[in-house]
Chain A
Amino acid sequence: MKTKLFAVPYIIWMALFVCIPIVLIVVYAFTNDAGAFTFENFKGMTSYASVFGRSFLLAAIATIICILIGYPLSIVMSKFPSNWQKIFTMLIMLPMWMNFLLRTYAWMSILEKTGLISQLLGLVGLPPLDIINTNTAVVIGMVYNFLPFMVLPIYSVVTKIDRSLIEAAQDLGATPGKVFKKVTLPLSLPGVLSGITMVFVPAVSTFVISQLLGGGKHMLLGDLIEMQFLGTAYNPHLGSAIALVMMIIVIICLRIMNRFGDGEGQAVIL
């Protein structure tokens, strides 16, 4: 009984800052300024379909790129001696200790027309790169900011794979390629799934990255919601409705994805 007491602060925290806000969002989404029940907020959203589409598309692309970079990186990291592994983990964590805004501003100056990349290209006589304020820049920003959330879960799962399982597979006749396909990959899937959750969800709702690197030209869901609460188009009811729909779509996406990883390999949802 006593151990349950330790959960009380967390339960209070959850109730205050998770459950009540969600309830409030739901209430707001289904009411108008006068406080009357209405579906108007949802009907008003149809004009933002392209924002939904772009948000999910860019988040998906960023997540896939994160997997493509993060998975091999995790595997390679896990093969190094353990003190090297510590250094690598450190290097991956290090940027996260710096302010998120600062990191994104840094990318602005790297990607700018007169930025670092363009200058380097200029040195070898190539034309300057002009990708700031494009979707590409937004994806780069997402990948950079969220990559650690892909690498760390995969890495922690991969390092826990019992070395003797790899040896057993070799012993039974598996070439290095087969060992990967039949043992390492399936056993590391839980890490990939939680990595996807941890990258996709923040990527879909980000607004700083799209504003700074996308120049505000291509609005994402985050921007849209922010605008309804803090911006010019003040309409918390519409904002709540958008947030609610986004949440539901994210949950559906993750549910579908979880089908692929049975049993223990569930991504973290809800």
Chain B
Amino acid sequence: MAKELIRLVNCSMAFDGEVVLDNINIYFNDKKFLTLLGPSGCGKTTTLRIIGGFLKPTSGDVLFDGVRINDVPPHRRRVNTVFQKYALFPHLDVFENIAFGLRLQKKPKLAEAEIKERVLEMLEVVNLKGFEHRQVSSLSGGQQQRVAIARALVNRPEVLLLDEPLGALDMRLRKDMQNELKRIQQAMGITFIYVTHDQEEALSMSDTVVVMNEGKIQQIGTPEDIYNEPKNAFVADFIGESNIVDGIMHEDGVVEIFGRKFKCLDSGFDPMEPVDVVIRPEDVDIVPLKEGMLTGLVTNVTFKGVHYDIIVDFKGFKWLIQTTDFCPVDSKIGIKIDPDGFHVMKKSKYSGMFGDYSSYSDEYDEISDSEYDPEAEEEDGQGGGYYED
């Protein structure tokens, strides 16, 4: 078992009476890559700033190695932060930026030779050899990012906090830096706590993903768990694309949607319990009409490169299906879903808010975006109008 390093106990945070963190309980294990994932305003950055010492929780405790550190100022915490906009010192060159923390060390005070050795070593780790005398303003975004990471890591912190560090980089560079960060984390063997609103980034880098929304933790799990077994409609929708429909769980392994019973692998629900059923767009197979478990009308086709995104109307409820087969608009198709393609979830306050593709194309971009406006969705939504609070 990995050693527990940081624990937040019943942490709440309110700014001017507005609650941004609602009774968070979470622990962070040593040498792991953990990601706080959620839309903007979900409290993920607040959580990070509490750990970094820049904010004091309104209530609750922050424990480091079992010791309460609520009142320990940032400069005495054994964590370092990579800030969202890098926050490099404009009056210092690359070398002095990275050496900043080392020069501040008191006991023992580091010799100039050691500082130099460690800075150069760190420049090599982040692939910036030979950049030590450059001014930070002359660096590209990706290079500045690397300097920010080196500046934090050179102090050999036990925990590195990263606040959307790749947010300002373009797509290609993000992918490169994701791999690089993962490599650095494994090579240095320290804990990374990573904040992002990018679900893909979270899934590809993390050992553990914490999905947050509205100041609450929605789900904690491995990337596979989060994707395959989302706990509620919010998580299912936020992580990847999801069709979410109302269903009734008849018994273990049997779920009813659209008035028909289907085999599934889920169990542990009350008989006849109303549930949310998630069907991932890639889990739907397109088959000839006769063989289909359900039949629907194709209303929209978008070419995405590897696959087509098609929108299929099933009794007024529109699904997103990802397929490599081309189906023309207005054609009737049959679909088949394997038992492991159904993910059954308990009803939550998010039921009925997500997972409908009725106003596809206008809304598609927003859905994959971090911002979410339930008001707009309710107005547009047809079918699946179940709402439980």
Residues on A facing B (Cβ under 8 Å): 162, 164-165, 167-175, 178, 182-183, 186-187
Contact = CB atoms under 8 A, between A and B. Distances in A.
Contact of A186 (B53, B81, B91): B91
Given A167-B54, A178-B104, A186-B91, A172 B85 contact: no
Query: Lowest 3 CB-CB distances: which A-B pairs, in order?
Result: A172-B101, A164-B87, A168-B87
Nearest to A183: B89
B91 A171 contact: no
Given A167-B83, A167-B87, 9 more contacts: A168-B88, A168-B151, A169-B89, A169-B100, A170-B73, A170-B74, A171-B81, A172-B104, A173-B101
A170 B75 contact: yes
A178 B75 CA distance: 10
B115 to A, nearest CB: 13
A174 B81 CA distance: 13
A187 B90 contact: yes
B271 to A, nearest CB: 54
Interface string B57-92: 000000000000000011110011101110111110
Chain A binding site: helix, strand, loop or mixed by DSSP? helix
A162 B74 CA distance: 17
B9 to A, nearest CB: 23
A187 B91 contact: yes
Given A168-B81, A168-B87, A173 B105 contact: yes
Contacts of B45: none
- Report which residue of A162, A164, A171, A187 has the largest number of chain B beta carbons within 10 angstroms of its beta carbon: A171
Contacts of A171: 52-53, 74-75, 79-81, 152
B216 to A, nearest CB: 26
B155 interface: yes
B155 A173 contact: yes
Interface residues of B, number: 25
A164 B83 CA distance: 8
A182 B90 CA distance: 12
A154 B380 CA distance: 53
Nearest to A262: B91
A162 B136 CA distance: 15
Nearest to B163: A164
A173 B102 CA distance: 9
Contacts of A170: 53-54, 73-75
A132 B84 CA distance: 57
A172 B150 CA distance: 12
A162 B52 CA distance: 18
Nearest to B154: A172
Contacts of A186: 91
B161 to A, nearest CB: 8
Contacts of B155: 172-173
Nearest to B161: A171
A182 B100 contact: yes
Contacts of B87: 162, 164-165, 167-168
Contacts of B101: 172-173
Given A172-B100, A172-B101, A173-B101, A167 B90 contact: no
